[in-house]
Amino acid sequence: MRSYGRIALSACVCPLLCALAVAPGQACAADGDLDPAFGDAGLVQMFLTGGDSYDYATDVAIDSRGRIVGAGSTVGESFGDARVIRLNEDGSVDASFGSGGLVTSGFGGHYAYASSVAVDAVGRIVLAGRTTKSGLVDFALDRYLENGSPDGSFGDNGTVFTKFAGGSEVTSLAIDSRDRIVAAGTRAGGLALARYLENGDLDPSFGNGGKVTAPEFEAESIAIDSEGRILVAGTAQVGSRQTFALARYFDDGRLDRSFCDAGIATADFAHSNAAEASSIAIDPRGRTVVAGGIIRDSGRSFAFARYDTDGTLDRDFGRDGKVTVPCSDAFCFAKGLAIEPRGRVLAVGFQGYDQLLVRLNRRGAPDDGFGRDGKVTTNFAGDDAQANAVAIDSEDRIVTAGGVYSLEFARYIGDAPPSLKIRGPRKITTRHRRARARFRLRADQAVTFMCRVDSRRGSRCSSPFTTRNLHVGKHRLKVRATDRTGHQTTKLKRFRIVRRP
């Protein structure tokens, strides 16, 4: 297996205040910068096979230890294999997982493709995709133990197949609070849902023998809210137009007809020729965000819609609940979606031959503190780049996964801690036994300061900060800067007071 990290073509460009605030030689980190602590300058690129086959990642999850679990496929002229790869927090391959960090699944068929991955409460990894084992395309699920070996307590030696009339394929996967697996996808003529018990059996308390079908639209993405209700996003044909569609189901599989218009909400984008949904996420206030793309005569755009808990469009988001972010290339689409704990919306996809990462603030406007006008583009040297999924780790770092001819992972700084500079003298001369010292505190964003001199108790302070009378000798000033999100930076300033002869 060959593994290469590629350096992005663009470098970090920092605001003036940041440049003033950091010490000489210290790197300047800003929201949206590639994380230099991950892979090679923030990127990991992996070629699993050679020849005419190609590799790509379709989904990503992060486990409780910060390890990155990617799902993808290797496709050749006469075969297709589903893959799971696990990376350590620093982007290196986790050799304790599978064979050299990699698990390969054929789902028992000649052609197998991975679409989604999730990690359950005890660290087991669930992989979903499709296979042609029965001659038709079927739902296929594998579950692996933490070390990558098949979980023999799940289905038939770790694998489960589910058939729907006319064939079907899984597009998305979620695990509920009771460790039941819910798979969503498409079948001939509409959407398909299946829920599985912990042992892999279909859950008889869900729908009809564990399955739900509906003709309204094909499911592209799934999420489960805090009340256990299942939200499914996809694309519906309304008259001659394609629109976003969102359905909500009760825990038992019944359509929740109190949700918008008899259980299904839509979003039509004005002046668009077509709108297609790809991904779904639920924000901290229970509102549902759907992302995808639209086509207009003027070009393509990332598209977003946010729905209140009753299924109506949230008018506090963008314009009447909808947002479009134009692309600079006609080849453009949002594929993956995540929402930060602060409610900001992240979407990834492609723009031309580059990955495109977009962040919106809570009201739907591009976040001007992220990249350039809320956008970050990333190129993997020597290869086309496309992001298909995004996840946020426990340190608010943003991880994307994708690829066209290789597995591609990137990690970005989500919330950069404030930079801090303490300006003041190292030596203070006095004619007395005691003297005061004065320092200026500089940060690159709005912060609160805590100051502590020597062993005294720390207290809130501001700039300029003046100490009490201090005796002749060596002293230390410790300053902690905390931004609005709780991220902190601490700096220490050493100085001494000298009595003039």
pLDDT of residue 49: 76
Q: Residue 110 — very low, low, confident or very high, per pLDDT cuts 50/70/90?
A: low
pLDDT of residue 397: 95
- Do the domain assignments include residue 434? yes
SS3 20: helix
Q: Residue 25 — very low, low, confident or very high, per pLDDT cuts 50/70/90?
A: very low
Q: What is the mean pLDDT of residues 144-163?
A: 95
- Do the domain assignments include residue 382? no
CA 477 to chain centre: 39
- Do the domain assignments include residue 468? yes
Q: What is the mean pLDDT of residues 128-149?
A: 85
Q: Among residues 348, 375, 402, which one ends one of the domains?
A: 375
pLDDT of residue 133: 64
Task: Residue 448: give its domain's CATH number.
Answer: 2.60.40.10
Top-confidence range, 105-109, 277-281, 412-416: 277-281
- Do the domain assignments include residue 424? yes
SS3 19: helix
Sign (positive or negative) of CA dihedral 94, 50, 149, 197: positive
Q: What is the mean pLDDT of residues 106-135?
A: 85
Is 325 in contact with 301 (CB distance < 8 Å)?
yes
Lowest mean pLDDT among 244-253, 341-350, 477-486: 477-486
Q: Residues 450, 359: one domain? A: no
pLDDT of residue 210: 98
- Non-local (6+) Cβ contacts of 189 within 8 A are 166, 215
Q: Among residues 340, 375, 410, which one ends one of the domains?
A: 375
- Smallest CA-to-CA distance from 139 within 182, 96, 98, 101 is with 182
DSSP 380-426: -TTS---EEEEEE-TTS-EEEEE-SSSEEEEEE-SSPPPPEEEE--S
pLDDT of residue 51: 67
pLDDT of residue 329: 82
> Which residue range is the domain that position 331 belongs to?
216-375
The predicted model scores a pTM of 0.83
Higher per-residue pLDDT: 210 or 49: 210
Distances (CA, A) of 109 to 57, 122, 158: 20, 29, 15
Which amino acid type is present at position 483? D
Instruction: Round to whole Å and give the CA distance between 75 and 93.
Output: 21
Q: Which residue has the tokens 């359509």?
A: 255
Q: Residues 356, 490: one domain? A: no
pLDDT of residue 229: 98
How many independent structural domains does the chain possess? 2
Instruction: Round to whole Å and give the CA distance between 361 and 368.
Output: 9
Q: Residues 357, 251: one domain? A: yes
pLDDT of residue 296: 83
| DSSP-assigned beta bridge partners for residue 267 | 244
Instruction: Round to whole Å and give the CA distance between 281 and 232.
Output: 10
